[in-house]
Structure 1
Amino acid sequence: MGSVLSIIKNSITQRSQVVAWCSLIFTSLTGIALLSSYSSRIRVIRKRWIRIQVRKWLMDPYMKGSDTDAFVSYYRNVLCHQQKINNDLLENILRNNHSCAFYRDRSIALLCSKGEPNTLVDEFREKVPLTTYSDYRDYFEQTVLHGATNQVVSDRIIYFALSSGTTGKPKTIPITKKIIEKYFTLARISPSVIWRSLPNASYPVPEQRSFVLLSGQQAKSFLRSKDGTPMGALSQILSVVSPFPGVRLITSNFNVIALDLVERIPDFYTNLFVQLVFALAIPDLFSYTVTFAPEFIHTINLIETSREEMASCIASASFNPSVIVQSKIHDHQLINRLNRALYETLLEYGGTTYQSERAKHIRKVCMERKKPGLLHRLWPKLIYATTALSGSFSSYKQQAQFYCGDKIVLTNLTIYSASEGYLGTIASIHTDEYVLSPTTVFFEFIREEDVHQSQPKTCLLSEIEPDCRYELVCTTEAGLVRYRMGDIIECTRFLTRADDLVPLPSELHQIPRIPLISVAYRMGNLLDIIGEKTTEQNLIDTITKTVDEWRQQGVIADIIDFTSYPKLDAFPPYYIFFFELGDDQQYETLQSTVDKLVDQYLRQFNFVYDRARDATYIAPAKCNFVRNGTFSTFIHEKLLTVHASPIQVKPHRLLKTEQHIQYFHANCLGQ
C-alpha cells in the first residue's frame, strides 16, 4: 500500500513539474510576444515622429506655397535672368572641361575666357559643330571598358546611365555628383509649384505620405565599368549613389515602403504587386506618382485584377496569402521582413480592426470598375496624381483622367528629364508645360523645318517664339557639347499671370520674357511601356530579319504593312503586332514561328527592351496576321477625311484608340 501511495505521489510531483515548466514557457512566450508587440509599436511611433518632424522643419518651408517657397526664390534669382545664367553656365562648363580628350580632339577650348559671355556664346555656336551620340561613343567606351579618365568630363563620374537611344543602340551617359545635386534642387522647386497652384486648405498634414513607384536593385547586381563605376537605369541611381547623407532614409520614410526592400525583389511584376499592397495599406496618401503613363495605367489595372489577393494581404497583415509573392520570392528572410513592414504599416493606422475594414473597402471599391475616380475612392484624401502625359504619352491622358475622376488633379511629370540631363520643371498643374532650367543645361534650339539638316543654325533660349517647334540642343556638365537630343518641343507661350499657370509673386509687376515649352514628340520613338523607347526603325529591322529567317527556311513571304499597340492590362504588359502578308495562304505556316522570331530580333535591336524582357518587366510580343486589304480599308474608312488626300495619310504604326484596335482584331486571320 505504501509503495502505491509513493508512486502516486511521485506521479503528481512529475505532473506538477511539467505544468510548472509549461506555465513558465507559456509565460515566457507571452512576454516575448508582448515585448515584440511593444517593440513594433515603438518603431512605428518613432518612424512616424521622425517623418512628421522632417516634414515640418525641412520640407514644408520650401514646399508650402508662400512668398518664401522654393519656386519664388527660383523665379526671382534664376528665371528672371534666364539667358544670362544660361550663358554663365556655358562658360563654366567650357572652363571645367576644356582639357578633356573630346575637347582637345575637336579643338574646343575656352574660347573667350576674358570676353563677354554673349561673345563667348556666339563664337561657341559658330566654331563648334552640332553633335550626336555617335561622336561620343568611342570616348565613353574608353572610359567604361578601359578605365580612361578625363575623356569628356573632368569631374569624377559616379554613375553611367544606360539608355536605348533613338536608334535602339545602347547609350552610356556619364553622371557626376554635381548633376545629381542640381536634380535635387529642381526636385525642391516642383512640389512648391503644385502647392502654390492649389488652395492652402488642400495642403497635406505632416502625417500623410505619398506613393512613388520606386525602381532599384541591390548594389551587387549593377553592371560596372572597368574602374568599378555602377551602370544602370537613371531611375535606379539611388540604389548605389548617395548625393548627400540620409537621402535613402528620407526616400524610405516618406514613401510607402523602404528602398532596400524594393531592391531585393528582382521580379518586376512581384515588386509592383508588393509596392501597391503597401500603398493600399495606407488610407490617406496625398499623391500618387508613376513615371510613365502606360505604367501608371498598368498599376491601376493590377489593383483592379488582383484586388482579392491584395485585400487578403492587408486583412492578414502579411504576404502569406499571396500566390505571386510565395511563388516568386524564395528568400524566407525577405518575406518575413516584408510581413513585418506591412504589419507595422497597418499598426500605425489601427491594427487588426483597421486591417479588416480596409480590406473590405478595397474589395468593394474595386468591384466598381466602370465608375470613374477609382484612385479617389481608394484614397479619399489623395490630392494629385503625376505621370508623363506629354509627347508620345498624351494619348494615355484620357484613360489616366478616368481613374482620377474629377476630385484628383492629374499633373504632368513634375521634372522634364532624360538620361542626358535634367531639363526643366513644371509651370502648371493644368497643362503639360515646362519652364526650362538655365542652371542645369545650356540650351540651343533648331527650328523644326531644319531638323533634317546636319548643321543647321540654332536659336537661344531668349530667341524662341510661341507657336513654333524646335529640336532641343544641349551642352551639359557631363561632357555633351551641342548635343542633338532628338526631343521636339513647342514653345507654347511666355510665362504670365494666367489662371492655368503657377501663381507668380505679387510684388513683381513686370514679368520678363520666360518661354514655356511642351514636349511635342521624340524623333524616332514608337512603343514605350517603361522607357525602352522602341523605334519604328527597330520594328522595320526586326521585320526585315524575320522575313530573311523565313526565306532561309524555304518560305517566301513578305510583310507589306504593320501596326502595333502596347497591351497594358496584361501582367506583365507586352506588345501586340498586326502584320499583313502578301499572300493570306501563308499565315498558317508562319503563325507558329512569328512570335518567337519577332521577340528575338526586337531584343537584338533594342538593348533596353532586351533587359526589360530579362527582368520580366515586359512579356514576349504577340503577333497577328490580318486579311489582305485590311490596311487599305483602314486608311480609307477610318483615317481619310475630307481635308486630306490618301497620300497625305501616314501609316499608323501605333494604334491609339480602342475602335482602331478592335478593327484590327476583328480582321485577324483564323477567326
Structure 2
Amino acid sequence: MPNFTLTLLTSAARLSKAIFVRKTRKTAICQEKFLFSLLKTHQETEFGKDYSFKDIQTIEQFKQKIPILTYSGYEKYVERIAKGEQNVLTSDPVVYFNQSSGSTGKQKLIPVTKRVRKVRSRVTQQSLGFMTDAAIKKGLPIGKMLLTTSIQIRDRTSGGIAYGTSSVGDLRNMDFLYRQVFVHPYEALKPADSLARNYVCLLFALRNPQMRVIGANFPILALQLADYLKRYAADLIKDIETGKIAAWLNLEPEIRQVLEKQLSAAPQRAAELSSILESEGILTPKMAWQNLSWIITARGGTSNFYFEKFHKYFGDTPVFGGIYAASEATFGIYEDFNSDGTILAIDSGFFEFIPSDEWEKEQPKTVLAHEVEVGKYYRIVVTNYSGLYRYDIGDVVEVVDFYEQAPIIVFRHRMGGLLSATSEKTNEFHATQVMQQLQKEFDLPLENYCITLSDDEIPPCYLLNIELLPGHPLHNSEKFIAEFDKKMQQANVSYEDKRVHNILPPPRLRILASGSFATVRQRLLQKGIPDSHLKIPHINEDRQFLAGLNIDKEVKLPQLKEAGV
C-alpha cells in the first residue's frame, strides 16, 4: 500500500491506543461514566422506561433494579425490532442484526446501531494500535493483508433489516481507506462459494511476494486457507501466469468480470512459485510469502489445538489475537503477539463479573472490573449500546493480570460447552435436541452418546459417537447419520450455513463397543471429579476424550462435490 496510507492508518491507531491506555489508569471512573452515559441515552426507550433508568443514581441501584438476563429475556423485544419497531431497546435506529446461534437452539439477533458500529470501530482501531507498537518493537515490517471472510449478508428480517455475522457487518461498514489494507480487491470477498472466495483472494495475494499479514476469524480458517493453497497451487500459478481466473471456478459472472479487470499476468512471479512447488512438492503460506510478518486470528478457548498445526504451514510466524468479541459485545483487546491475554475493553461496555461460587444462583452477586482478582475465574456480564443490559453471554474468563487498573482476561470456555469445527458453535442444547428427535424417530434408546471432532482432516468433521443398548440394534446406520446431519442443520443455522457451502465436511457415525461410556466414566472419576457431580458431556472438543475406545462400526456420508474437482 502507498506509504502515506499506511502511515496515516498506523498513526491514527497508535493515537487511539494512547487514549485508551490513559483510560485504563482510571478504570472505575471510565466504567461508571460509560454506564451512566448509556442509561441517559436509552432512558426513553421502552426497556429504559420498564426499568426506570431515570431513577438510577448509583451502580448499586443499577444492579438492584435490573436482573441479570440471558438472550431469552430480550427475545420478545428483538422480535418486535426485527419487524421494524424502533426505540425498544435502543434509542438509535437499528440498522443491522449480528446473528448468532444461542443456547436455546434458535438464532440470536443482536441489534446493531450506528453508535454500536462506532464503538466497535474504535476498539478495532485501539487493537491496531497495540498491534502496530508490538510489530515495531519486534522489528516486523507492516504491510498488506490477506483476508478471505465473506461479506454476504444472510437475509433480511420482515421489517427489512439485514442480518448476518458480526464480521460481515464490520467489513461491509469498513471505509475506503481501510479497504486499501487488503492485498486483494474488496470485491474478492463477495463470492458466495467458499472455495471460490478463498481462491480469488489467494490469487491476488500470491502475485505480491511482499504481502505481510494473513487474517482469519479463527485458526481453523487459517489452516483451511493453507489447505486450499496446497490443493490448488498449480491452478493458482497457471492463473497468475496468464492473468485469467480459472473457468471451472464457481464464481458469479459479474464478480469474475470485475476481478479479471484488476488482474494482470505476472509470469515472473508464476515462475518463482512454480519453482518452489517443483522443488518442495508443496506450496505453503510461509514458502509463498517468505517475509510474512504475522497472522491475526482468535486466541484462547480451543485455539491451541489448531495452533499446534500452524508450524507446518506458517513456520514460527507470530500470532496476534486482534479483539476478543462475540456477536453480542466486544470484551477485550489483545496487547501483544502470541499472548492469550486481552485488556478489558472498558470504553465499549460496562462489565460485571460473576465469581465461580455464584454461578449456580439465579441472580448471582457480581464484582466490578477493578474488583476482580488475578487467578480467579468469572462469568462475564455486559451492558452496552446494543440494548443489552446486564447480559450474561455465558463466557468464562480467567483474570491473569492487570494493565494499569484494567484486568487482563483470557477466554477459557462457554458455559455448557461448545463444539466448533470452524465457527458454527454447536452447543449442548443443539446436541440434545437433535438426539432426542433421532432416538424417537428410530425407536432407538442409547446407552450414551457424545459428539466430538475428527483430528485427521482440516476442517474436522463431526463424529457422532454412540453406544447401543443390548437388544436395540441400529438397522439403518447410513440413514441415521444422514438424519443427524439434516436435523443438526435445522437446529443450528450456522452449522447449516457451513454444510450448505461445503465448508464443513459431512459427519461420521461411530458405533462404540459395549461398555465404552462406563470406561469414560471411570476415567473421569480417576481425574478426581466427584461422583455426585460427574456428568458425561454430549459435546466435547477434546480430541482425546474418547481415545482408545473400541469402534464396532464407522459410517461416512459422501462428500459434497466441489466445483472443478
Q: How does 1:427-506 map to 2 (within 5 A)?
A: 427-495=335-403
SS in 2 for 1:419: coil
Deviation at 1:564, TM superposition (A): 1.4
- Please tell me whether residue 73 in structure 1 is matched to residue 19 in structure 2: yes
* C-alpha contact (below 8 Å) 2:463/2:508 kept by paired residues: yes
Q: Which residue of 1 aligns with 2:273?
A: 358
- Per-residue CA deviations over 1:272-319 (Å, capped at 9, x if unaligned) read 232223333321221111111222222222222333333333333322
Distance (whole Å) between structure 1 residues aligned to residue 407 and residue 75 of structure 2: 33
* Aligned residue number for residue 562 of structure 2: none
Structure 1 CA distance for aligned equivalents of residues 540 and 416 of structure 2: 16
2:320 maps to 1:394: no
- Coordinate RMSD, CA, aligned: 2.9
Do the aligned partners of residues 154 and 443 (structure 1) sit closer, same or farther apart at CA in structure 2, a change above 3 Å counting?
Answer: same
Report the AA paired with residue 146 of structure 2: F
1:353-384 CA distances to partner (integer Å, 9 max, x unpaired)?
2222223324544638xxxxx54332111111
State the partner residue of 2:116: 179
CA contact 2:377–2:396 (8 Å) conserved in 1: yes
CA distance in 1 between partners of 2:251 and 2:555 (Å) = 39
Do 2:229 and 2:285's aligned partners in 1 also have CA atoms closer than 8 Å? no
Please report how far the alpha carbon of residue 222 of structure 1 lies from its aligned counterpart in structure 2 after TM superposition.
4.8
How far, CA to CA, are the matches of 1:330 and 1:198 in structure 2?
38
Give the drift of 1:160: 1.0
Which of the pair is proportionally richer in helix?
1
1:106 paired to 2:55:
no
Pair 1:533-2:454 in alignment? no
Q: Which residue of 2 aligns with 1:577?
A: 464
Aligned to 2:314: 404
Change (3 A) 1:298 1:424: same
Unaligned runs of 5+ in 1: 1-47, 113-119, 369-373, 496-511
Taking structure 1 as reference, are residues 522 and 318 closer, same or farther at Cα in structure 2, changes over 3 Å only? same
Once the two structures are TM-superposed, the CA of residue 634 in structure 1 deviates from its matched residue by 5.3
Q: String of CA shifts for 1:416-452, please: whole Å, max 9, x gaps.
A: 1111122221133232000111111001111122112
What is the distance in 2 between the residues matched to 1:365 and 1:202? 29
Letter in 1 for 2:368: L
Q: 1:229 aligns with which of 128, 137, 161?
A: 161
Q: Do the aligned residues in 1 keep the contact of 2:466 with 2:511 (CA within 8 Å)?
A: yes
Deviations 1:460-482 (A, max 9, x none): 11100001111111111121111
The answer to whether the 8 Å contact 1:584/1:628 transfers is no
- Which amino acid letter does the alignment assign opposite residue 398 of structure 1? E
Distance across 1 between alignment mates of 2:554 and 2:161: 51
- Residue 293 of structure 2 aligns to which amino acid in structure 1? I
1:216 alignment counterpart = 151
Contact 1:317/1:342, CA 8 A, preserved across alignment = yes
Instruction: Specify the code of the residue in structure 1 equivalent to 2:318.
Output: V
Change (3 A) 1:634 1:402: farther
Distance 1:108 1:201 in 2: 48
Contact 1:307/1:366 (<8 A) preserved: no
Deviation of 1:226 (Å): 4.2
Q: Distance in 2 between matches of 1:479 and 1:566?
A: 39
Q: Which amino acid aligns with 2:304?
A: S
Q: Distance in 1 between matches of 2:546 and 2:310?
A: 18
Any conservation in 2 of the 1:167–1:524 contact (CA below 8 Å)? no
Query: SS where residue 157 of structure 1 aligns?
Result: coil
Do the aligned partners of 1:559 and 1:580 also contact (CA within 8 Å) in 2?
Answer: yes
The alpha-carbon distance between structure 1 residues 122 and 542, as it changes in their structure 2 partners (threshold 3 A), is: same
Name 2:4's counterpart in structure 1. Answer: 53
The alpha carbon displacement at 1:657 in A equals: 6.4
Contact 1:560 1:580 in 2 (8 A): yes
Question: Share of identical aligned residues, percent?
Answer: 22
Aligned AA (1:465): E
* Alignment match, 2:481: 595
Aligned residue pairs total 556
Give the residue type in structure 2 aligned to 1:313: D
Distance 2:102 2:483 in 1: 23
* Secondary structure in 2 matching 1:481: strand
Residue of structure 1 in register with 2:405 after alignment? 513
2:278 corresponds to 1:329: no
CA gap 1:665/1:314 in 2 versus in 1, 3 angstroms: farther
Greater shift after overlay, 648-657 or 484-493?
648-657
What is the alpha-carbon distance in structure 2 between the residues aligned to residue 143 and residue 566 of structure 1? 40
Equivalent positions of 1:511-660 (< 5 A) are: 512-551=404-443, 556-565=444-453, 569=457, 574-583=461-470, 586-587=473-474, 589-633=475-519, 651=536, 653=538
Deviation at 1:661, TM superposition (A): 7.1
Q: Is the 8 A contact 1:561 1:579 kept in 2?
A: yes
Secondary structure, in 3 states, of the residue corresponding to 1:444? Answer: strand
Give, in whole Å, the separation in 1 of the partners of 2:136 and 2:505.
Answer: 43
Alpha-carbon separation, structure 1, partners of 2:82 and 2:384: 19
Alignment partners' CA distance in 2, 1:211 and 1:274: 11
Contact 1:168 1:605 in 2 (8 A): yes
Aligned partners of 1:480 and 1:656: how far apart in 2? 29
Q: Relative to 1, partners in 2 of residues 1:366 and 1:233: Cα closer, same or farther, differing over 3 Å?
A: farther
Query: Does 1:280 find its partner at 2:190?
Result: no
Greater Rg over alpha carbons, structure: 1
Cα contact 1:162–1:232 (8 A) shared by 2: yes
Q: Counterpart in 1 of 2:259? A: 338
1:456-502 deviation digits (Å, cap 9, x = unpaired): 1110111000011111111111211111121111111223xxxxxxx
Measured at CA, do residues 400 and 641 of structure 1 come closer, stay the same or move farther in structure 2, by a change above 3 Å?
farther
- On the 8 A contact 1:94/1:110 being kept in 2, the answer is no
